[in-house]
Structure 1
């Protein structure tokens, strides 16, 4: 779900996770994964692009 680049973070948040607060979601995500959703997405997308090149 976070890998879908055509969706904005708040759309993912509301439609697919059930969270109503983007701030709480971001805080919990960073606490769980050690990176903000934006950082996590950037790292995964760049790594995936390198694998396909």
Structure 2
């Protein structure tokens, strides 16, 4: 979340279209992150790193 500049689980959840509780479960490792979401987050990280350059 820090690498994407999201300060809250709610902010991340809203940006990717899921419920905050879902993000919480992912971060706690209680539920796996679906592949499409993982790919989306990787793309967001690439985009964020380009903006920092």
For this structure pair, what is the TM-score category when the shorter chain's length is used for normalisation? 0.3 to 0.5
TM-score by length of 2: 0.38
